[in-house]
Amino acid sequence: MKIKLLLKKIKQSKNVAVFGHQSPDGDCLGSISAIYFLCKNFNKNVDVFIDDLIPQKYNFLNFDFLKNDDVELNKYDLLISVDVASLKLLGKYGNDFVKHSNTIVIDHHLNRDLFGKINFIDCTKASNCEIVYNVIKKSKLKIDSNLATLLYLGIADDTGCFVHDNTEYYSHLIASELFKLCANYKLVNYNIFKLTTQKTFDITNKLNSEIKTIEGIKYIIITADFMKKNNCTKHDIGDYVNKLVNLEHTKIAFVMTEKQKSVFSISFRSLINYDVSKVAKIFKGGGHKQASGGEIKGKLEECEKLVVAECLKAIKLGDSNV
Ligand SMILES: [Mn+2]
């Protein structure tokens, strides 16, 4: 029923704007592309916005249609956000998005803001691309090999190539459908899960010596100074936090990165018993139980203390539930 309503809303509109989240990942890029092609197929004028640059590792696919310019959102009669857990992640588009009268949010995150006029949420899905796949199937848009590859990218990225605990039967089922539709899974798997740049390789070694341990927490703090000294960006840091959480004796891992003076973004990961989506929520973020992100402002030492304290609480809670 809800898919029908979504398709009807798109059909009824003329000019559609689609939005993804800052720090776009494969799921965001896959979902946003699929909705873009869907709108095109319905002969809509459609623009796609992300208030950020696309990480280099996704350059093996074509996202030329993405824009990040300042734009008057009132010229669109329908706004759709995909894979965006919190309004903040829409960046500069957030304010206008909430003010607009015709908005749809398509998402799969558990702890999230309901900032759309219509919220089309399915938290049982490991990736947003699984939801979008169902939408595309209902729409009768033919899934060609390019679209199959993009949808596969989303599922693979959000499930860590089917090894994260969010991976369900359903993720495999749709992936196998996409294989049948000639998704170029080898290209995706190589570029996302195997390939490492020399820079990331070198930075990883440096970061290894910066790891701090407090009880079951392992974390690193990446200051602007460190980034400058090593001439690196957040993209070069890559998915370091995913490796950190798998270091033995770790229950929760986080990476705190200074993105502006006294403003830190935090990526959290956890083992199955520990809920970092709640921790992220305390720091104005959101995400999944085992993978989430937030932000904190203030003096480094104080921020560090606060984040560690919340992680310790989450560990205590998780331990008591075992
Ligand atoms: Mn996602």
Q: List pLDDT tens digits, range 275-301.
A: 999 999 999 988 888 989 999 999 999
Domain ranges of the chain: 2-193, 198-321
- pLDDT tens column, 45-69: 999 999 999 998 999 999 999 999 9
Report how far ligand 1's centroid is from the alpha carbon of 228 (Å): 30
Taken as a whole, the chain contains a residue count of: 322
The CATH code belonging to domain 198-321 is 3.10.310.30
Q: Which distant-in-sequence residues (6+ apart) come within 8 Å of 189 by Cβ? A: 156, 161
Please determine, for residue 1, whether its predicted confidence score (pLDDT) is greater than 70: no
Cα 124 to averaged position of ligand 1 atoms, centre (Å): 12
Which CATH superfamily hosts domain 2-193?
inorganic pyrophosphatase (n-terminal core) (3.90.1640.10)
pLDDT for the residue 140: 85
- Signed CA dihedral, 309, 312, 313, 314: sign only: positive
Residue 58 has a pLDDT of: 96
Task: Report CA(230)–ligand 1 centroid distance (Å).
Answer: 30
- Hey, which residues does 106 pair with through a beta bridge? 82, 120
Q: Is the Cα torsion angle 156, 159, 164, 168 positive or negative in sign?
A: negative
Place of tokens 């990040």: 68
For 12-53, give the secondary structure using H, E and C.
Answer: HCCEEEEECCCCCCHHHHHHHHHHHHHHHHCCCEEEEECCCC
The domains spanning 2-193 and 198-321 adopt the same CATH topology:
no
Q: Tell me the CA–centroid distance for residue 192 and ligand 1, in Å.
A: 15
Question: Residue 293 Cα, ligand 1 centroid: separation in angstroms?
Answer: 12
pLDDT at 239: 85
CA 123–ligand 1 middle distance (angstroms): 10
> How remote is the CA of residue 286 from the centroid of ligand 1, in Å?
12
* The one-letter amino acid at 185: Y
Rounded distance from Cα 172 to ligand 1 centre (Å): 16
Tokens standing for residue 25: 């990942």
Give the pLDDT score at 39. Answer: 98
Residue 110: predicted pLDDT: 80
Residue 165 has pLDDT above 90, yes or no: no
CA of 195 to the centre of ligand 1 (A): 21
User: Are 16 and 39 within 8 A, CB to CB?
Assistant: yes
* Contact in structure between 58 and 86 (CB atoms under 8 Å): no
* Inter-residue contact 276 to 282 (CB < 8 Å): no
Tell me if 18 sits within 8 A of 44, measured CB to CB: no
Give yes or no for residue 127 having a pLDDT over 80. yes
Q: What is the pLDDT of residue 175?
A: 98
pLDDT of residue 321: 83
Distance from the CA of 66 to the center of ligand 1, in angstroms? Answer: 18
* 83 Cα to the center of ligand 1, angstroms: 5
> Residue 114: its pLDDT value, please?
87
> Cα of 158 to ligand 1 centre, how many Å?
6
- Contacts of residue 240, defined as CB under 8 A and 6 or more positions apart, other chains included, come to 204, 207, 220, 255
Mean pLDDT of 242-262: 95
pLDDT cut 90: percent of the chain above it: 88
Range with lowest mean pLDDT among 40-49, 155-164, 185-194, 230-239: 230-239
Distance 6 CA to ligand 1 centre (A): 19
CA of 301 relative to ligand 1 center, distance in Å? 31
The answer on pLDDT for 78 being more than 80 is: yes
C-alpha 38/C-alpha 171 separation (Å) is 21
Beta bridge partners of 18: 48, 80
Stretch (H or E) spanning 256:
strand 252-260
pLDDT score of 233 = 87
138 CA distance to ligand 1 middle (Å)? 21
Q: What is the mean pLDDT of the chain?
A: 95
**What spacing in Å lies between the alpha carbon of 299 and ligand 1's midpoint?**
31
- What is the rounded CA–CA span in Å between residue 191 and residue 61? 10
C-alpha 143/C-alpha 183 separation (Å) is: 10
For residue 127, the CA-to-ligand 1 centroid distance in Å is: 5
